[in-house]
């Protein structure tokens, strides 16, 4: 999950697209709401690979696999 990160100081520790303050749940919600990949890219300034990483993150979470946050030195 090199494109997804968590940090208690960014968005209260929610998983976000690395290098942004865009939460994974916002990306997923936008897709569910009918936005295309291209619209999400334009709206949030992310890349298609970031969107796919958000979907993969959610899929692993739903499958019950353990997703551990990255340890970040502050």
pLDDT digits (tens, 9 = 90+) for 13-70: 999 999 999 999 999 999 999 999 999 999 999 999 999 999 999 998 888 766 667 6
Domain total in the chain: 1
> Which domain range does residue 11 map to?
4-62
- Residue 16: give its domain's CATH number: 1.10.10.10
pLDDT (0 to 100) of residue 33: 97
Cβ atoms 37, 50 nearer than 8 A = no
With bands split at pLDDT 50, 70 and 90, how would you rate the model's confidence at 74? low
Strand partners of residue 17: 4
User: Which residue is listed with tokens 């990306």?
Assistant: 27
More confidently predicted of 74 and 38: 38
Q: Is 74 within the bounds of a domain? A: no
pLDDT (0 to 100) of residue 64: 77
Q: Is 20 within the bounds of a domain? A: yes
The string of DSSP letters for 1-46 reads -TTEE-BTTBGGG--EETTS--BHHHHHHHHHTT--HHHHHHHHT-
């Amino acid at each position: 999950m090199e494109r997804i990160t968590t940090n208690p100081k960014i968005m209260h520790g929610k998983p976000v697209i690395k290098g942004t303050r865009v939460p994974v749940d916002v990306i997923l919600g936008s897709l569910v709401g009918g936005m295309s990949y291209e619209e999400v890219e334009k709206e949030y300034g992310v890349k298609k690979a970031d969107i796919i990483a958000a979907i993969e993150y959610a899929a692993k979470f739903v499958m019950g696999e353990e997703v551990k946050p990255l340890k970040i030195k502050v």
